[in-house]
Amino acid sequence: MAETPESSERSEQAGKTVARRPGGRAARTKRADEGAPPQVEPARPAEPPAVAAQGRLAVRKTYKLYVGGAFPRSESGRSYPVTDPQGGLLANAALASRKDARDAVVAARRAFGGWSGRTAYNRGQVLYRVAEMLEGRLGQFADEVAAADAVPRERAEALVAAAIDRWVWYAGWTDKIASVAGGANPVAGPYFNLSTPEPTGVVAVFAPPEAPLLGLVSVLAPVIATGNTAVVVASERAPLPAVTLAEVLATSDLPGGVVNLLTGRLAELAPPLAAHADVNALDLTGAGALAAELEEAAAGTLKRVLRPAEGRTDWTAEPGTERLTAFLETKTVWHPIGV
């Protein structure tokens, strides 16, 4: 769409300099005299056909972080371009800093007491609510997964459906895992000996680079299903479905701080999380070549560590209970019989 006098005048009245994007969308940047250096915004994809046909400018989505139940930009003000497998620009995502990672840990620790103190049944209700909300936005998620992985629309819808079913799976396990992982132990003496699983605490989760939605759900859902809180580093290559998932979490009765989502460079965010004294466990599924280094850093504060699987993971396979028990600790109680 060619630039018109009206659109140019409106942009100047707003006090902004204007650079035209492909498809006619105006890219607005602050003037140098407003206290920030002038920025050149990268090109954006063309307007959707329906929007272009209406002769209007689409309201483009800003992909931010999700920390403490809010959606802040990175404190550094940075962002980075997210592209599809062919190199086409999809959007710009927030480039989180180490300070953002520390803020996310603080939010996760603050939320841990309330979340772990809820009944297992109530946590299951919240996870099921996430599935309900995700079902209502299936089309949007399918679009983002199809763009991120360059897969056909039908395949993308199947992957989103599998992610929804994964939330339901773990929602059903919240009030059953204690019976599987705990129980009464036979002892030689007049005592009851009972073991019960308890959540570990704050878990740093490094999402897998492949399967940006299904893989993320598969590593995140079991962490919070068992009462832990999470700091998640989304797939660096394809973070957009993760940010949209955070929007679902924010409207699904999940308390703020239970899940905190960071987007950015794994090499920048992972080391401070691995060494952070208030992080109790690491899921290294998406750590890649950094896994050994992060595990070594985690040893300094005696963190629980879930190592990445060897080879490529089939995220569509039935998950089992291994990830549910990975971040549980067992408390054993002795009680005299007859007292």
Residues 108 and 174 in one domain: yes
Residues 115 and 254 in one domain: yes
Residues 159 and 305 in one domain: yes
Residue 89 is assigned to a structural domain of this protein? no
Residue 301 is part of a domain; what is its CATH number? 3.40.605.10
Q: Measure Cα distances from 82 to 79, 95, 147, 239, 265 in Å.
A: 10, 11, 11, 8, 12
Residue 88 is assigned to a structural domain of this protein? no
Residue 80 is assigned to a structural domain of this protein? no
Residues 238 and 102 in one domain: yes
CA distance 180 to 328: 12
Residues 30 and 114 in one domain: no
pLDDT at 45 (0 to 100):
53
Say if residues 336 and 193 touch (Cβ distance below 8 Å): no
Residues 161 and 225 in one domain: yes
Residues 119 and 177 in one domain: yes
Say if residues 173 and 323 touch (Cβ distance below 8 Å): no
pLDDT at 123 (0 to 100):
97
Residues 48 and 194 in one domain: no
Give the sheet arrangement for strand 191-199, strand by strand.
Answer: 183-184, 191-199, 328-336
Residue 68 is assigned to a structural domain of this protein? no
Residues 296 and 239 in one domain: yes
Instruction: Return all residues near 218 (Cβ < 8 A) that are at least 6 apart.
Output: 166, 211, 315, 319, 323
pLDDT at 310 (0 to 100):
86
Residues of the domain holding 213: 98-336
Residues 27 and 151 in one domain: no
Positions in the chain whose pLDDT score sits under 50: 1-40, 42-43
Residues 296 and 220 in one domain: yes
pLDDT at 53 (0 to 100):
63
In total, how many domains does the chain have?
2
Residue 59 is assigned to a structural domain of this protein? no
pLDDT at 59 (0 to 100):
83
CA distance 225 to 242: 18
pLDDT at 31 (0 to 100):
40
pLDDT at 16 (0 to 100):
41
Tokens of 237: 């290559």
For the chain, state the CA radius of gyration: 23
CA distance 201 to 110: 11
Residues 277 and 203 in one domain: yes
DSSP string, 105-147: HHHHHHHHHHHHHS-HHHHHHHHHHHHHHHHHTHHHHHHHHHH
